[in-house]
């Protein structure tokens, strides 16, 4: 073969390929023009999906929602033709007849005539084309330049964020509670593995399990948490009103404290009032709790844990401390009812009067043995309880309110806040297990718990909540804030069966690893000069389900929800109560506000023996202080 | 003790009252009823107002008082639904006439004795009024104009009612998010 022949053959082949391609394009154009109403709808759908960053499923749903109009059209045709056969062939008739309308300037009329078929079909076609476009770009099959996938993804992210923000701006898009008891969180930016919905929702039951929120300062963590609290409260209250659940009790531990905490508390309170809460207490500013309500055994343990005891030689004194606490709390007159009463008991004289009745010789011996240590123990507890302040000295119980916002000054006074956190956790546990009281659906939320996790690690709180059957939600500013050791952090994150929320944070890899990887296709092209050749390979690769780099770049209010090996990026909507609020009705009768009467401490010589609970003040009033009738 | 401390201070029984509003109301009552006034004042009313102020001066106290008022009425749930504020009232306290008299609720009140989150069509006017009503009106107008156009373009054809059905579906689906959320949600 001569060179000239080879050149002619090559040119012919090239021309043939180009001709085939041009013919294909021409055919497509002819088809598009012939079916111009469908093309118009498909083009509009495609452009809208591109601009809004929709996934293809959004177009398919739109097509499905336009089918009622098609049904009306078919029903109309059937009624006119009085036969189902006419209805069956009606789309074809309309398709062929429409050419007659092109002759007149009534293009709009033509469009209306075929719209019942063209709209759903066009939207479906747009969905298919858009899905192909996404596939082609992300796998490297499409695009003009090598950077096309990166540019496409970045652009789509911007579009998706903008659309999610627009959705959040609508007042009814993200209420506190959606149908089916789901909690709307905000506009969906991108869903990977999860089903896509315009507004991302999580089931209220997810909040009733264990949930972790990680985000650095200024990432919008507070907004997200308040929304989740209010959503859970609203869902639980609705369920209780419908007779499908217990009344909710929300306990929030704001472990950092400070002025911001008061602002957050007031915001939470306003939101909960709007959701139907009647009593929302802010502790310790406005309401108190009574540590002394705890059962004696638990009370002794909490009081013991509140004090730093040390190890080594100090263990000897720790044992003495524990023995004295048991003697003071389990004394025959019953447990102490106040700080003053408890401190009184840490005197040898009181303990001796209480126990040295001839029936408790062993206890009396212990008191004599520990007598010289009692002033020290009393001093330590007087100091500790004095620093804790009156807010744990009652009156008041967690069950008195619908929600408690507890502010712990973990930044300013870490040791005090740690002791308070311990006491509050114990009170929450008591409320959950107290069979005498009303059973409540409880969510214990600890914001920045790491600030007070010195003596009770977060994993302990977590496991405690699990054993008690209450929901626990914890937040931290970083992965490291979740626990002291890597093992503890993984234990917390790995057992978060309610899901993990990751907001902007510098080290999200350990959390995103829990979402796992997904299989993606990676196409390599052979380059000829500066352009792609027509050869290449495609291979399967693994990619992050929740991309850590994307999480690092999240802006304020954007979050990634990781659950069941899938991830959804959300633009969190600022929680607002409905402007149509719930207000209590006007008073119809006399109901003075009941203020709990101060309780009186039992005398050391008195015996309550078999009576486990303290003597009520009302009985004291009737029978005089210091004993049962 | 006054059964309704809000009433003693001339305040509506609302949870969104501020400390300043309560203090101002107490000062107003106290100035008009103090026993040191030349006319002798009104000791009973002054005493009641002072007790009420002591009770309502903190948000927690107001929360307690509101809850006790609700409990006194024998109501546990559901709470009655009333519009939080009358859009035409300049005085925010006057915005809640139904707090004193439920029958006097605003023109778009959601009514009373309705389970929160429900109430269907009765809540609709209030939800429209409290939502993005301008957008809703534009959507409704667009749907109406397009429906009218479709019916005029293809009179007597089944495509006309079909277009109207499609536009109504579109209006219902897209207009929902412009409504204010139902009470309690």
Contacts of A580 in chain B (CB under 8 A): 81-84, 110, 123, 126-127, 130, 180-183
pLDDT, tens digit (0-9, with 9 covering 90-100), for A506-516: 999 999 999 99
Q: Which of A206-215, A436-445, B97-106, B165-174 ranks highest by mean pLDDT?
A: B165-174
| pLDDT band at residue A577 using 50, 70 and 90 as cut-offs | confident
Residue A367 has pLDDT above 80, yes or no: yes
Same domain, A52 and A82: yes
Tally A–B CB contacts below 8 A: 229
Residues paired with A282 in a beta bridge: A405
Give the range of the structural domain holding residue A280, as residue numbers without chain letter: 169-289+396-518+545-572
Q: Which residue has the higher pLDDT, A434 or A461?
A: A434
Same domain, A449 and A437: yes
CB contact under 8 A, B60 and A176: no
Contacts of B162 in chain A (CB under 8 A): 69-70, 72-73, 76, 115-116
pLDDT, tens digit (0-9, with 9 covering 90-100), for B95-149: 333 333 333 333 333 333 334 444 567 788 888 888 888 999 999 999 999 999 9
Tokens of B3: 């059964």
Give residue limits of the domains in chain B: 5-104, 131-178
The three-class DSSP label of residue A503 is coil
Q: Are strands A531-544 and A517-528 parallel, antiparallel or unpaired?
A: antiparallel
pLDDT at B78: 37
Same domain, A51 and A107: yes
pLDDT at A603: 61
Residue A248 has pLDDT above 60, yes or no: yes
Portion of chain A with pLDDT greater than 70, in percent:
87
Same domain, A491 and A514: yes
Residue A460 has pLDDT above 60, yes or no: yes
Same domain, A199 and A306: no
Q: Does some domain include residue A444?
A: yes
Contacts of B133 in chain A (CB under 8 A): none
Tell me which residue of A76, A82, A80 sits closest to A117, measured CA to CA: A76
Same domain, A108 and A253: no
Portion of chain A with pLDDT greater than 90, in percent:
39
What average pLDDT is seen over chain B? 73
| pLDDT band at residue A470 using 50, 70 and 90 as cut-offs | confident
pLDDT at A89: 63
Q: Does some domain include residue A537?
A: no
Same domain, A315 and A451: no
What average pLDDT is seen over chain A? 84
Q: What's the total number of domains in chain A?
A: 3
Tell me which residue of B83, B153, B110 sits closest to A581, measured CA to CA: B83
pLDDT at A135: 94
Does the beta carbon of B126 lie under 8 angstroms from any beta carbon of chain A?
yes
Same domain, A35 and A121: yes
pLDDT, tens digit (0-9, with 9 covering 90-100), for A61-105: 999 999 999 999 999 888 876 555 665 565 566 666 655 555 555
CA A237, A239, A240, A242 dihedral sign is: positive
Instruction: Specify the long-range contacts of residues A40-44, CB closer than 8 Å, at least 24 apart.
Output: A40/A111, A40/A118, A40/A122, A41/A118, A41/A119, A41/A121, A41/A122, A41/A123, A41/A125, A41/A126, A42/A122, A42/A123, A42/A125, A42/A126, A42/A129, A43/A126, A44/A122, A44/A126
Question: Which residue of A105, A278, A397, A594 to mutate against B (max B Cβ within 10 Å)?
Answer: A278
Of B123, B163, B178, which has the smallest distance from its Cβ to A580's Cβ?
Answer: B123
Same domain, A80 and A182: no
pLDDT, tens digit (0-9, with 9 covering 90-100), for B68-97: 776 665 544 433 333 333 333 333 233 333
Residue A500 has pLDDT above 80, yes or no: yes
Give me the mean pLDDT over the A238-249 stretch: 89
Same domain, A270 and A411: yes
Topology of domain B5-104, per CATH? Helix Hairpins (1.10.287)
Helix (H) or strand (E) run with residue A321 in it: helix A314-329
Q: Does some domain include residue A277?
A: yes
Nearest-Cα residue of chain B relative to residue A585: B70
Nearest-Cα residue of chain A relative to residue B172: A65
Same domain, A551 and A421: yes
Nearest-Cα residue of chain A relative to residue B54: A593
Report the Cα–Cα distance between both ends of chain A, in Å, rounded. 124
Does the beta carbon of B146 lie under 8 angstroms from any beta carbon of chain A?
no
Does the beta carbon of B169 lie under 8 angstroms from any beta carbon of chain A?
yes
pLDDT, tens digit (0-9, with 9 covering 90-100), for A281-294: 888 888 889 999 89
What DSSP letter does each residue of B53-92 carry, written as one string?
Answer: HHHHSSHHHHHHHHHHHHHHTT--SSPPB--SS-TT-SSS
- What is the domain-level CATH number for residue A409? 3.40.50.300
Residue A592 has pLDDT above 70, yes or no: no
């Amino acid at each position: 073969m001569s060179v000239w022949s080879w050149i002619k053959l090559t040119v012919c082949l090239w021309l043939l390929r180009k001709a085939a391609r041009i013919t294909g394009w021409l055919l497509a154009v002819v088809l598009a023009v012939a079916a111009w109403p469908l093309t118009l709808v498909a083009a509009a759908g495609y452009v809208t999906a591109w601009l809004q960053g929709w996934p293809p499923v959004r177009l398919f749903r739109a097509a499905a929602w336009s089918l009622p109009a098609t049904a009306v059209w078919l029903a109309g045709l059937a009624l006119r033709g009085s036969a189902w056969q006419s209805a069956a062939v009606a789309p074809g008739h309309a398709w062929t007849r429409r050419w007659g309308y092109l002759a007149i300037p009534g293009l709009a009329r033509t469009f209306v005539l075929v719209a019942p078929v063209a709209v759903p079909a066009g939207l479906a076609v747009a969905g298919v084309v858009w899905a192909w476009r996404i596939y082609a770009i992300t796998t490297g099959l499409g695009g003009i330049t090598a950077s096309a996938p990166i540019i496409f993804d970045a652009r789509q992210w911007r579009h998706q964020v903008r659309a999610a923000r627009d959705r959040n701006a609508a007042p009814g898009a993200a209420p506190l509670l959606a149908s089916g008891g789901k909690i709307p969180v905000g506009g969906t930016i991108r869903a990977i593995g999860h089903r896509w919905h315009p507004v991302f929702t999580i089931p209220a039951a997810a909040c009733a399990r264990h949930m972790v929120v990680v985000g650095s300062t200024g990432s919008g963590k507070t907004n997200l948490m308040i929304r989740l609290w209010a959503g859970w409260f609203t869902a639980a209250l609705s369920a209780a009103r419908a007779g499908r659940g217990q009344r909710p009790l929300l306990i929030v531990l704001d472990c950092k404290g400070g002025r911001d905490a008061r602002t957050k508390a007031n915001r939470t309170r306003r939101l909960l009032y709007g959701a139907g809460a009647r009593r929302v207490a802010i502790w310790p500013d406005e309401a108190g709790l009574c540590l002394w309500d705890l059962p004696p055994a638990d009370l002794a343990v909490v009081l013991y844990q509140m004090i730093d005891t040390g190890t080594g030689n100090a263990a000897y004194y720790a044992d003495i401390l524990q023995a004295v606490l048991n003697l003071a709390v389990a004394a025959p007159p019953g447990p102490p009812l106040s700080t003053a009463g408890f401190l009184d008991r840490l005197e040898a004289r009181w303990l001796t009067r209480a126990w040295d009745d001839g029936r408790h010789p062993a206890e009396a011996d212990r008191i004599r043995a520990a007598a010289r240590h009692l002033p020290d123990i009393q001093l330590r507890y007087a100091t500790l309880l004095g620093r804790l302040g009156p807010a744990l000295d009652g009156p008041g119980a967690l069950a008195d309110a619908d929600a408690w916002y507890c502010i712990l000054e973990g930044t300013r006074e870490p040791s005090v806040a740690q002791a308070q956190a311990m006491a509050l956790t114990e009170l929450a546990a008591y409320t959950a297990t107290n069979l005498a009281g009303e059973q409540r659906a409880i969510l214990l939320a600890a914001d920045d718990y790491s600030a007070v996790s010195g003596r009770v690690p977060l994993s302990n709180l977590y496991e405690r909540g699990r054993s008690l059957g209450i929901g626990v939600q914890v937040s931290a500013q970083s992965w490291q804030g979740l626990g002291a050791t890597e093992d503890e952090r993984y234990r917390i994150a790995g057992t978060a069966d309610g899901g993990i929320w990751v907001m902007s944070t510098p080290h999200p890899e350990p959390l995103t690893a829990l979402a796992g990887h997904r299989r993606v296709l990676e196409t390599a092209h052979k380059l000829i000069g500066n352009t792609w050749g027509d050869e290449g390979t495609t291979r399967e690769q693994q990619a992050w389900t929740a991309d850590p780099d994307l999480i690092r770049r999240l802006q304020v209010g954007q979050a990634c929800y990781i659950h069941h090996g899938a991830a959804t990026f959300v633009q969190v909507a600022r929680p607002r109560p409905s402007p149509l609020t719930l207000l209590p009705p006007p008073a119809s009768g006399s109901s003075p506000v009941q203020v709990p009467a101060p309780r009186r401490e039992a005398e050391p010589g008195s015996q309550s023996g078999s009576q486990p609970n303290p003597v009520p003040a009302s009985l004291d009033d009737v029978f005089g202080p210091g004993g049962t009738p | 003790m006054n059964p309704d401390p809000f009433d003693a201070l001339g305040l509506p029984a609302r949870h969104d009252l501020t400390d300043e509003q309560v203090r101002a109301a107490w000062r107003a009552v106290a100035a008009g009823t103090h026993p040191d006034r030349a006319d002798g004042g009104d000791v009973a009313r002054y005493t009641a107002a002072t007790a009420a102020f002591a009770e309502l001066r903190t948000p927690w106290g107001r929360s307690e008082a509101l809850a006790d008022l609700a409990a006194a009425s024998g109501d546990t749930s559901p709470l009655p639904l009333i519009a939080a504020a009358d859009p035409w009232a300049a005085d925010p306290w006057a915005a809640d006439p139904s707090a004193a008299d439920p029958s006097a609720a605003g023109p778009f009140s959601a009514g009373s004795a309705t389970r929160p989150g429900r109430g269907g069509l009765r809540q609709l006017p209030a939800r429209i009024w409290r939502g993005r009503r301008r957008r809703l009106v534009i959507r409704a107008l667009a749907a109406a104009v397009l429906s009218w156009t479709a019916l005029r373009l293809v009179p007597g054809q089944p495509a006309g009612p079909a277009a109207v059905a499609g536009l109504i579906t579109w209006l219902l689906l897209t207009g929902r998010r412009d409504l204010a959320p139902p009470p309690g949600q």
